Amino acid sequence: MSDIPSLWLALTCTDPRAMITFLTSAFGLSERVVYGDGDVVHHAELTWVGPTGQVGGIMLGPGEPDCGRPPGTSSIHVVVDDPDVRFARATAAGASVVRAPADTDYGSRQFVVTDPEGNLWSFGTWYE
């Protein structure tokens, strides 16, 4: 299996460098590439390896008027095996809690937080 995702989520950020730091420390994403000059990031790619080995990707950058949603308006769901551990890591890194870990009526354990830009991130076990 390739370590290069074929499906990418794209985030527009007001501060891409700070978002990279947050996403790697709070959620455990890995920095794949960052293009820019000094503190300025033009384009970055972060990856995520799911519990069964699937690779997902997130591209981020400052965006352009005709490319991407406004910063802080995205909603992302990530499948994990250990939502309680992930919740502790995310909140320790400064994620704002929307919903603490809880079991759903459809068999998943999930939580929801926001990143510093205001995007919603839900993490949960797969329920199939």
Domain count, the chain: 1
Residue 23 covered by a domain? yes
Distance separating alpha carbons of residues 65 and 71, to the nearest angstrom: 11
| Domain boundaries, position 102 | 8-63+71-124
Q: How confident is the model at residue 57 (pLDDT cuts 50, 70, 90)?
A: confident
What is the average pLDDT across 51-64?
80
Domain CATH for 97: 3.10.180.10
Residue 37 covered by a domain? yes
Q: Which residue has the higher pLDDT, 75 or 70?
A: 75
Residue with tokens 């890194």: 93
Residue 102 covered by a domain? yes
Residue 3 covered by a domain? no
List Cβ<8 Å contacts ≥24 apart for 95-103: 95/22, 95/26, 95/121
**28 in the Ramachandran plot: left (φ > 0), alpha (ψ -120 to 50) or beta?**
left
Residue 2 covered by a domain? no
Tokens representing residue 91 in the block = 């909140």
Residue 107 covered by a domain? yes
What is the average pLDDT across 74-97?
95
How many C-beta atoms lie closer than 10 Å to residue 56's C-beta? Answer: 18
Q: How confident is the model at residue 69 (pLDDT cuts 50, 70, 90)?
A: confident
Residue with tokens 């329920």: 127
Residue 97 covered by a domain? yes
